[in-house]
Amino acid sequence: MLAETLTTGLLLITSASALPVMSPLEYVKRAVNPGVVISQCTQPNMLALAYDDGPYTYTSQLVDILDKGGAKATFFWCGTLYGCIYRQEAAVKKAYASGHQVASHSWSHNRMGSMNANQIRTEMTRVEDALVNMVGVKPAYMRPPYLDTGGQFLSTMKSMNYKVITNDIDSGDWNNVSPQQAQQRFQQAGARGNGHIPLMHEVYPGTVNTLTPWLINWAKQNNLKLVTVAECVGDPEGSYQPGNWTAKVGPYNC
């Protein structure tokens, strides 16, 4: 009986020691916490193509390029920067239906670090309403205009359960950097280590027609998986706020 008890105990100890134990530090690193700035993927062998400022004229074309290349991407959309978001409803639905992540870039694209909490909430809820009305989801990820995270911004994002994304590579398309020069930035950053989250804008034809196809090929040459931002930070099921959201009765306007 004693021998049997000892044997059972040893088996339990052996089994327990064989299981991987996540340290508290590893757990914190893997967690995706609202209101905390994330600038890079937390996993290797990935590239999270991320586009700001749309939806716009080129959105549908960009979705076609991504789909043809087998790539998933993330769209950080505004409400009014390049016209009313509702006028691009077909492109919004197309991107979402293709499995790309749709996320928020604020309603008006103003500096949110200079706003009070109520103003920030309005900026976010208006984008939420638009996306719920068009595709039935409320985003859980956002990228702030001008990457401005000052003032009451982060605490408000935490209270609204938003994960805040910036970038670790700047394509420079917003500052007249050519697609060819942007390619050099990616090559200099390299494909090793944790994956990249670039800052790009879907409102520039060079980014859509030249840089994006090159990035798809570059990723394939380096065995990088082209994924959404949520997946690259280890949160593939967390792209959207949990809940069943009901669209408001139209007409919709900006």
Q: Which of 53, 105, 201, 235 is catalytic?
A: 201
CA neighbours closer than 13 Å in the CB half-sphere of residue 45: 2
128 within 8 A of 141, measured Cβ to Cβ: no
Rounded Cα distance between 222 and 225, Å, is 9
Rounded Cα distance between 104 and 153, Å, is 14
SS3 251: coil
Beta bridge mates, 169: 198
Would you state the structure tokens that stand for residue 185, as one six-digit string?
């930035």
Please indicate whether residue 100 is annotated as part of the active site.
no
| Residue 243: C-alpha distances to residues 31, 85, 138, 238, 248 (Å) | 21, 23, 9, 12, 15
The distance of Cα 69 from the centroid of its chain, to the nearest Å, equals 19
47 within 8 A of 192, measured Cβ to Cβ: no
Please indicate whether residue 201 is annotated as part of the active site.
yes
| Residue 249: C-alpha distances to residues 83, 102, 240 (Å) | 21, 22, 22
Would you state the structure tokens that stand for residue 113, as one six-digit string?
């670090």
Q: Which of 52, 53, 173, 235 is catalytic?
A: 52
**Catalytic residue ranges:** 52, 201
